[in-house]
Amino acid sequence: MMSRLLTLVCTLTLLCVGVSAASAKPARQPNIVILFADDLGYGDLGCYGHPTIRTPNLDRMASEGMRFTDFYATAPVCTPSRAALLTGRFPVRSGMASDTRRVLFPNSAGGLPANEITLAEALKGKGYATACIGKWHLGCRPQHLPTRHGFDYFFGLPYSNDMDFVPGSPGGSGSLQPKSEWFNVPLYRNEEIIERPANQPELTRRYTEEAVRFIERSKSKPFLLYLPYTMVHVPVFASKAYAGKSPRGLYGDALEEIDGSVGQILETLRKQKLAGNTLVFFSSDNGPWLIQKLVGGSAGLLREGKGSTWEGGMREPGIAWWPGKIRAGQVNHSLACTMDLFATSLLLAGAELPTDRRIDGIDMRPLLFQEGPGLRKAFIYYRDTEPWAIRKGPYKMHLITKNGYGKEPMVRHSPPLLFNLEADPSEQFNVAAQHPEVIEELTQELNRHTATVVPVTNQLELTEIK
């Protein structure tokens, strides 16, 4: 009797375990949120040392996650930088870099080629909902808009907010008191213009509201939210809630509003119980536009800014947040760049990296989850279609130098310049004569890279729309 009873109990237990195992849901793919400022300087956030710009939400994001000290944008200006982030490839490979027209303009005929695989397309193939909310700048013809590149939803501007300047307007894009009506820039919802000129002081607030709504309606499935803010590109605007509040002036107002936006998005993820399954990454497309003076940002101790391959043009804040997955309070000194977000996001989603083209992005998971050393050994600094510098370890070699903006000509260096960025992050002391072996190693590394670059149609130089 006892034997039959024990057998029955064991059978029922096994059945229950079987039912439980069958009904258990596999772990859902993580959500990916990329928050991307425009023209933000390395020294502009509180957690990167700015004394008067208040960024409590980004500071908290860094304290709850990982702050990178050596994170790079892949280009020093808008269009190529954004192409690199979304494709995981140096922009020269897709024709999204030019020596004569450095970015796309409203009259440009080109844009991100249809045969490029974007982060949105790759994740959409794995069941993700996708949205681009903010500044696009990868082509403004219908065939180049975000909705043609894997994004289910687009709300934002097709290009920079200083374009379509209205002739005869009383001030320029760098004004401390700009007006929306000075710029005839359109605001899109999907492929329809819903406002022209866009009400620029309200853009950050509206982007945030759209992003929150997207998260709320997409919470039942994995999603990609790409939020490239229009600010703090000139003309700089802030809504009434932030205008006149920052000790740093108008630039600080606009950046503190971005910080408020980040806080709202992270709080939405917490309220929707999504924080534990969401990677959030904050960075910027390039360094500060120094010639804009008080409405431009600061690269801190780094040399130069936007448009250049000096450190201030391409080294950016990089903050990763994923409660329960990324250990809080980390400061990471490994090399990483925006292209790496492509590879990392695909691998986190269970997607394979494309094998029919060269992917320059590298998996960041060992860095994020402390599983080992960083896999990126070198970083190449492109200005337009040509590599001007390369970094490996602490050493950076410059073949060509020029400030981001100005009339002075570029200078080709033979022998190249060499800086030890760990000892000299401001790039003041050339140590090439002391380290010929490093020059040789970096030259070979760069030669291996350039041998992989194949000429393609230049999208930025295609016949302009009249």
> pLDDT tens digit string along 63-121?
999 999 999 999 999 999 999 999 999 999 999 999 999 999 999 999 999 999 999 99
3-state secondary structure of 127: coil
Cβ partners under 8 Å of residue 15, min gap 6: none
Catalytic site positions: 78, 137
3-state secondary structure of 444: helix
In degrees rounded to 5, what are phi and psi of residue 259?
-60, -40
Nearest Cα residue to 142 out of 180, 114, 161, 123? 114
User: Tens digit of pLDDT for each residue in 192-218?
Assistant: 999 999 999 999 999 999 999 999 999
pLDDT recorded at residue 27:
76
Indicate the helix (H) or strand (E) that contains 347.
helix 339-348
Domain 31-377: CATH superfamily, name plus number: Alkaline Phosphatase, subunit A (3.40.720.10)
Rounded Cα gap, residues 37 and 236, in angstroms:
12
pLDDT recorded at residue 113:
98
DSSP E strands: which ranges in 261-394? Answer: 278-284, 315-321, 330-332, 336-337, 378-383, 386-392
Q: What is the DSSP string of 127-170?
A: T-EEEEES---S--SGGGSGGGTT-SEEEE-SS-TTSSBPTT-S
3-state secondary structure of 281: strand
CB 118 within 8 A of CB 86: yes
% of the chain residues with pLDDT over 90: 90
The CB density around residue 305, as the number of other CB atoms within 10 Å, is 29
Where helices occur in 65-172 by DSSP H, the ranges are 78-87, 119-124
Query: Scanning the structure block, which residue is given the tokens 């200005």?
Result: 383
Low-confidence spans in the chain with pLDDT less than 70: 1-26, 466
Rounded Cα gap, residues 417 and 182, in angstroms:
43
Half-sphere exposure of 218 (CA within 13 A, CB side): 25
The CB density around residue 69, as the number of other CB atoms within 10 Å, is 14
Q: What is the mean pLDDT of the chain?
A: 94
Where helices occur in 149-288 by DSSP H, the ranges are 203-218, 250-271
Cβ partners under 8 Å of residue 370, min gap 6: 327, 330
Q: Architecture of 380-461 per CATH?
A: 2-Layer Sandwich (3.30)
CA distances from 240 to 135, 171, 266 (A): 21, 21, 22
Identity of the residue numbered 134:
G
Rounded Cα gap, residues 182 and 186, in angstroms:
12
pLDDT recorded at residue 372:
87
- Where in the chain are the domains? 31-377, 380-461
Cβ partners under 8 Å of residue 409, min gap 6: 402
Cis status, amide bond into 455, omega within 30 of 0: no
Nearest Cα residue to 258 out of 40, 1, 99? 40
Q: 143 is written with which tokens?
A: 């065939």
CB 360 within 8 A of CB 341: no
Q: Do the bridges between strand 336-337 and strand 66-72 make them parallel or antiparallel, or are there none, so unpaired?
A: parallel
pLDDT recorded at residue 18:
43
3-state secondary structure 171-204: CCCCCCCCCHHHECCCEEECCEEEECCCCHHHHH
pLDDT recorded at residue 26:
55
pLDDT recorded at residue 90:
98
Rounded Cα gap, residues 388 and 75, in angstroms:
11
pLDDT recorded at residue 106:
97
